Amino acid sequence: MVEAYCVKCKKKGQKMKDAKIKKTPRGGYMAKGKCPDCGTTMCAMMSEEKANKAIESGEAEKEF
């Protein structure tokens, strides 16, 4: 699963639920999803390698 920091729960390494990976205007990759505990939207910046690995393994959906 794609991991991110939840600002509301203040927990590091939360497993993102319903993750979708987007390409930023500057060429980077960003995963966006929901916190499994509180439902807040979470974001995580990631490398192309990690983004492709998450898409191929089915952990995240490709949205670009």
Count Cβ atoms within 10 A of the Cβ of residue 3 and give its class: 0-12 exposed, 13-18 middle, 19 or more buried: middle
**pLDDT classification of 60: cutoffs 50, 70, 90:** very high
pTM of the model: 0.83
| Segment 5-43, tens digit of pLDDT | 999 999 999 999 999 999 999 999 999 999 999 999 999
- Domain residue spans in the chain? 3-62
Q: How far apart are the C-alpha atoms of 14 and 11, rounded to whole Å?
A: 6
